[in-house]
Amino acid sequence: MDVYGLIGNPVGHSLSPPMHEAGYDALGIDARYVTFEPAPDDAARAVEGAAALGVAGLNVTIPFKRDVLAAVDADPLAERIGAVNTVAFPDGGSGTPRGYNTDAAGVTRSFARHDVPLGGRDAVVVGAGGAGRAAAFALADAGADVHVANRTTERAVELAADVPDATGGGLDGLDERVPAADVLVNATSVGMEEDATPVPAELLHGDLAVLDAVYAPIETRLLRDAAAAGATTIGGAWMLLYQGVEAFERWTGEDAPVEEMNAALRAALE
């Protein structure tokens, strides 16, 4: 039996185990997915320990996504984003662990699922943290023109300097940027288990596609406001699903059973 897992701290809230195990069961793969909670400064040791124990693959979440970079051979996208959320162990753990960032795929595959083209589109990413970095790089690599807006302007400008042809600014610029945008991503935690939104409803419009990375609640205030404006709405559960699907496919070499994994995730969110 293969063992896959997740390292994070805390990690008890994770929805990854039921989602991934539904995938294994659907394909008849003899595997299970477990969680590990190392001490906050033990990311590298956790990866080494997983390799020694024969763990077949790891997901990585807060606070380890940046720290794990030093313990793996990261692919170019993960290097540019500056974070790893998926680790593969080649040669049964005897080879150098490989690091990937599947959060970016979570963004692009969510838009593709909803038939939203990204090439040549004007995109606004709200938030310059880890999710914001993944979203900004994903959208730019897909051909979108990216503007990053953040409460702390300096962080938005710093992120934009790393992303090809991107711009950055404060939240006060949303009044100008969102009405002219084709794509909007909320990459902040605003709206998580609260009735709040990072973008005023009056800025939203019917030609917009809105992805909210927040997945609890499934329908955030931002998504309700966007739907009322006639926009295409994409909940954060899609991004969570597709980053997991991408990891599943990298580990197993199989096409993930997306619908079974999605059903398990939605059941866990209820």
Question: Which token pair is 113?
Answer: 């699922």
Q: How deeply is 175 buried, as exposed, middle or buried, from its count of CB atoms within 10 A (0-12, 13-18, 19+)?
A: exposed
Residues forming the active site: 65
Pure H helices in 63-125: 76-81, 103-113
Phi, psi of 212 (to 5 degrees): -105, 115
Are the C-beta atoms of residues 108 and 129 closer than 8 Å to each other?
no
Crossing angle of helices 103-113 and 130-141, rounded to 10°: 60
Are the C-beta atoms of residues 201 and 225 closer than 8 Å to each other?
yes
Report d(CA 35, CA 260) in Å as an integer.
Answer: 21
Question: Which token pair is 105?
Answer: 């795929």
